[in-house]
Amino acid sequence: MRHRTSTSRSRPGSVLERDVGQSASVARQDDIGSADATTLITDLPYGPKAAEIAREAVAVALHGTEADLLDDARLITSELATNAFASGSPPLVLCIDRMTPTTGGLEVEITVTDGGCSHSPPSSPPAPEEEAESGRGLVIVEALANAWSLTTGTHGTRAWCRLTREPSPPTAST
């Protein structure tokens, strides 16, 4: 299966497609209060490599951001991709929206979708057993994200979260 990555602008019909290893970012101007926004969309392999490919895509989409935001986004995306592979069905798709509001700061929205699953979503992240080797994914997402949601169904599952960083206060010059 060949994986594709797309980045798009807010203008209709403006989509770039590249192989996963050759991701591109496209800046856009829009009317929703963002001075700059970039969207990266990529197919993820339906298998154990999904998390690794997802982390690489985050590194491309968030190139140049502060290290703690990049680390949080990579961890969250890895968890969401792993959950999609473990609990869902193909296809797996990752979307990363990076927005710089006109007021400053940064907003990142991460969405992972899959082809659906047969069981209903938890109403809140279940607490994993202390000795368990898995089961902490949504707990991690809840702890790191400013907002998140999970919509599960037989025809598709969507896990979404938002990370925000406020603008840095101006430094006083001496």
Give the domain extent around 81: 4-122+138-165
The answer to whether residue 111 is domain-embedded is yes
Quote the number of domains for the chain.
1
Average pLDDT, the chain: 78
CA distance 89 to 112: 12
Q: Which residue has tokens 């949601």? A: 149
Mean pLDDT within 152-169: 89
Query: What is the model's pLDDT at position 10?
Result: 40
Q: Cβ contacts of residue 43 below 8 Å, gap of 6+? A: 3, 4, 5, 20, 91, 92, 93, 94
pLDDT grade for 34, boundaries at 50, 70 and 90:
low
Contact yes or no for 73/16 (Cβ under 8 A): no
CATH number at residue 82: 3.30.565.10
pTM: 0.73
pLDDT grade for 9, boundaries at 50, 70 and 90:
very low
pLDDT grade for 128, boundaries at 50, 70 and 90:
low
Query: What is the model's pLDDT at position 138?
Result: 84
The answer to whether residue 173 is domain-embedded is no
